A and B are shown apart, each in its own frame.
Chain A
Amino acid sequence: MTTLARRGDAAGEAGRLAALLLSPTFVVLGLVVGYPLVAALRESLYQSGQSVDADGFVVQGDQFAGLDNYTGMFSGPAATRFWNAFGNTTFFTVTTVAAEVVIGVAMALVMHQALRWRGLVRASILVPWAIPTAVSAILWQWIFQADGVANALIGNQILWTTEGWQAKFAVMIADVWKTAPFIGLLVLAGLQVIPRDVYEAARVDGASPARQFWSITLPLVRPVLVVAVLFRVLDSLRMFDLPFVLIGNRKESVETLTMLAWDEASNLRFGPAAAYATILFVYIAVVAFVFVKLLGADVIGEVRDRGRQARERGPEPLAKPEVVPA
C-alpha cells in the first residue's frame, strides 16, 4: 500500500520534472512555430485599408474579409498572376530537382570512385552549395548579362534576363549548379555504406556495370536519395532569391509564389500576401505528405525505430523508478 502510493508519487514527480524541463521547449516551439502560423492564417482573413478618406488619409485598421483573399486568388482579377506563379513554382521544382538528381548521382559515383584527391574533390564540389543564394544569383547575373560569359561562349546575343523561356532556363541552370552538389554529397554518404562484397558477388555472377547500378546501387542508396530529393523539393517550392536577383521582380516568366507573396506584402496588402503564403504552406505540406506516403521517405526513421524498440522492451527505466524503501 505505502509502496504503491509512493511509487505513484515518484512517477508523478518524475512526470512533473519531465514536463517542467520540457516546458521551455514547448513555449519556444509555440512562439517560433505556432504563433507565426496562426498569425498568418488570421491575417489572411483580413484586408487592410486600401481606401483614402476625404482628407487624403488612408482609412486605418483591418477589415474582416472572410475567404475573399482566397477566392480572389483562384478566380478573381489576380487569378492569372496566381496561376502563373503557381505554374512557375511547380515547373521549377519538377525540372530542377529532376536535373539535380541525375547530375547529383553522377557526381556521387565519380566521387566514390576517385581514389586520389578524394578530399579535395569533395571539398570543391561543395563550394557552390556554400555560396549564399543571393550572391550566386549575382554571379550568374554577370554571366548571363548581354555581354556576359554565357553569350560569349555561345557566340550569340541572348538577352537572358528579359521575359521568356531563356529567363526560365537561366534560373534552372543557376539552381542546378548550386544544388546538385547537395544531392551528390548525400548520395555519396549512402554509397559508402554499401558493402563491397555485394558488388564482388555481382561481378562473380557476371552482372554488367549497368545492371549493378540499377539492381544494387540504386536500391541501396534509395532511402538516402529519397530524403535528399524531399528536402530539395521542399526547398524548390520556396524558391525566391535566385529568380528575384537574377531576373528581377515582377517578371512573369519566373515569378514564383514566394515572390508573389513578397510583392503583395511590400505593397501593404498583407491579407492577400498571407493568403498566398498559406496556400504555399498547404501546397508544401501536401507534397511532403504524398512524398512520404508514396516513396516512404524515412525522414524521422531513427526516432520511429527508437520508439518501436522502446515499446518492445516495455517502459523506459526512467518511467519505472526503483522503489525506495521507507
Chain B
Amino acid sequence: MAHKTTLRLTALVSAVLLLTACGSEGSGGSGATGGGGGGAAPALEGRGEITLATGKDTSNNMQKLAEEWNAGHPNEKVRLVELPDSADGQRQQMIQNAQVKSDAYTVLNMDVVWTAEFAANRWVVELPRDQFDLNNFLKPAVATAEYRDKLYAVPVYSDAGLLYYRKDLLEKAGVQPPKTWDELTSACQKVKALPEGANIGCYGGQFDKYEGLTVNFDEAVNSAGGSIVDESGKPTVDTPQAKAGLDKLVNGFAGGQIPQKAITFKEEDGRRAFQAGELLFMRQWPYQWALASKTDGSSQVAGKFDVAPLPGDGSGPGVSSLGGHNFAISAFAKNKATALDFIKFFTSEAAERSNLLATSQAPTRANLYDDADLNKQFPYLKTLKESILSAKPRPKAVRYGDVTSAIQEAAYAALTKTKDSGTALKELQAKLQDLLK
C-alpha cells in the first residue's frame, strides 16, 4: 500500500514539475503583447553591458572596433556573440532568442531582407530617426532599414552586384565593356572568335535554388524594365518586361551563353569558375575583387579583370539587387540606451572606414566612396556606388521566407525548363498576391 502511495507521490511530483516547466514556457512563448514599441518611437533606456549578435567576424575587425568602444566605455562594455556561418542559421538563432524573449542579444546584425519580418513581429524596437545623420548615408541602404516609414535599424554594410569582366580578352577583341545585355552577347561572340576565347563561357551568376537565385532573378526583371512589386507593394511579375528579363536567363542557358553547370552555382562556385578563367562575364558581389586579385596562384585572372555596372536591357545600365547588413536593437534587451550609442559609434565615418579597409565590405556612408585614398586601394568603389544608388531592394515582406521561396521556385522551374517562363511567372504572381496582401 505504502509502496503505491510513494509511487503516486512521485508521479505527482513529476507532473507538477512538468506543469511548472510548461507554465513558464507558455507564458514566455505567447503571453505578452507589449513587446517593444507602442505608438511613437519609445524612449530607449538603460545603460550597462551589451552584446552584439553577429555572423562570424572573419576579419576580426568587429572585435577590434568593440575593443575600441570598450576602452572608452568601461561601464558599458560590448561583447560579441558569434552566430552560425550561414544567414539562415543566424536568422534562426535571432528568432529563437526573440521567441523566448531572452535578453542575451542586444544589438542584432541583420541581413537587409529581415527588417520587415523583425519589425512586424516587434522583435526589434523603432529607432529615433533624428538621432542619426541619415542624409549622409546611401538612400537605398537606408530604405532597407525602414518598415512602414519607420526606422528600425541603421545600415552598416551595403552591397550590390557588379559585372566582372575579362579586361584582357575584351581589349584583344577590341570591344568596350558592355552596358546592355545585347552588347554583352555580341562582345562574347567576338571573344569566342579569338583563339584564347574559344572555350570560354559567356556569363555566370548565382542560379542554384537559394537566395542568390532570388537576387539574380530580381536583377534580370528590374534590368529589363520590370519590377517584382510596385510602389504600393503589389506584385507585378506577370508582365512582358518581367518575362523579357527571365527569358534573358532562360535563353542564355538554352543558347549556351550561360554554361549549363551555372545552374549549380552559388557565390563561391561561380567565383572559382571565374578565377579559373572559365568565364568572360560574371555577376558577383564586390567581395570577389580581393580574392580574384590574389597573386598567390589561386587566381588565374589577377590583374586581367575589371568591373562595370550590371548590363541593362534598353540603353541604360542594369539594376542590381541590394544586399548588406543593418544593426537593430532587440526588443527584449536591457541597456537599450547604450546599444543606441554603440550603433552610432559603429556607423561613424571612422568605424566604416576601418571596416572597409579591413573587410572590403561596402560602407553605407556616401562620402567614403569619393575618398581618393580609398579609391586607390579599392578601384571598384566608383562603380559600386553607382550600382548601389540605382539598386532596388528585394520585396519588403513580413513573410519574406515564403516570398523568396516562391520566387526561387518559379525561376528555377523556368531555368531548368520544367515550366515555360510565362506559366512560371503567372503562378508566381498568384502566389505573391496571396503572400503580400
Contacts and interface: CB of A to CB of B under 8 A. Distances in A.
Contacts of B9: 19
Interface string B1-44: 11100110111011101100110010000100101000000000
Interface in B52-73: none
A61 B209 contact: no
Interface string A55-86: 11110111000000000000000000000000
Contact of B418 (A58, A62, A163): A163
A113 interface: no
B261 A20 contact: no
A212 interface: no
Contact of B398 (A58, A60, A147, A157): A58
B404 to A, nearest CB: 10
A251 interface: yes
B261 A56 contact: no
Contact of B17 (A30, A50, A55, A159): A30
B370 interface: no
Nearest to B435: A50
A309 interface: no
Contact of A250 (B1, B6, B30, B409): B409
Contacts of A250: 209, 405, 408-409
A57 B122 contact: yes
B22 A267 contact: no
A39 interface: yes
A146 to B, nearest CB: 3
A249 B409 CA distance: 11
Contacts of B209: 163, 248-251
Nearest to B17: A27
Contacts of B25: 39
Nearest to A29: B14
B208 A248 contact: yes
A55 B409 CA distance: 30
A110 interface: no
A31 interface: yes
A62 B26 CA distance: 11
B402 interface: yes
Main secondary structure of the interface of B (DSSP, over half): helix
Contact of A268 (B15, B95, B148): B95
B120 A27 contact: no
Contacts of B375: none
Given A15-B3, A16-B6, A266-B92, A34 B18 contact: yes
A52 interface: yes
Given A19-B6, A30-B14, A157 B412 contact: no
Contact of B22 (A11, A39, A60): A39
Interface in A171-192: none
A281 interface: no
A210 interface: no
B147 interface: yes
A12 B2 contact: yes
B88 interface: yes
A265 B120 CA distance: 18
A120 B319 CA distance: 59
B210 A249 contact: yes
Contacts of A30: 14-15, 17-18
B315 interface: no
A249 B418 CA distance: 18
Contacts of B399: 50, 267
A163 B264 contact: no
B121 interface: yes
Contacts of B1: 12
A147 B33 CA distance: 53
Interface string B374-405: 00000000000000000000000011011001
A50 B88 CA distance: 20
B416 interface: yes
Contacts of B21: 31, 35
Nearest to B210: A248
A19 B7 contact: yes
B208 A161 contact: yes
B6 A35 contact: no
B236 interface: no
Among B33, B209, B412, the one with the most A-chain Cβ atoms within 10 Å of its Cβ is B209
A123 interface: no
B80 interface: no
A215 interface: no
Interface string A25-65: 01100110011001100000000001010011110111000
Interface string B207-222: 0111000000000000
A162 B263 contact: yes
Contacts of B208: 161, 248
Contacts of A58: 120-122, 398
Contacts of B95: 268
Nearest to A265: B92
B247 to A, nearest CB: 20
Contacts of A267: 399, 401-402, 405
A157 B13 contact: no
- The 7 A-B residue pairs with the shortest CB-CB distance in the complex, in nearest-first order: A15-B3, A146-B261, A12-B2, A19-B6, A267-B401, A56-B148, A23-B10
Interface of A: 11-12, 15-16, 19-20, 22-23, 26-27, 30-31, 34-35, 38-39, 50, 52, 55-58, 60-62, 145-147, 157, 159, 161-163, 248-251, 266-268
Interface of B: 1-3, 6-7, 9-11, 13-15, 17-18, 21-22, 25, 30, 33, 35, 88, 91-92, 95, 119-122, 147-148, 208-210, 260-261, 263-264, 269, 398-399, 401-402, 405, 408-409, 412, 416, 418
30 contacts: A11-B3, A12-B2, A12-B3, A15-B6, A19-B6, A19-B10, A20-B6, A20-B10, A23-B10, A30-B14, A34-B18, A38-B22, A39-B25, A52-B120, A56-B120, A56-B147, A56-B148, A57-B121, A58-B120, A58-B122, A60-B122, A62-B30, A162-B263, A163-B209, A248-B208, A249-B209, A250-B209, A250-B408, A251-B209, A268-B401
Given A15-B3, A35-B22, 16 more contacts: A15-B2, A15-B6, A19-B9, A26-B14, A27-B14, A35-B18, A52-B120, A57-B121, A145-B269, A147-B261, A159-B260, A162-B416, A163-B412, A248-B208, A249-B88, A250-B209
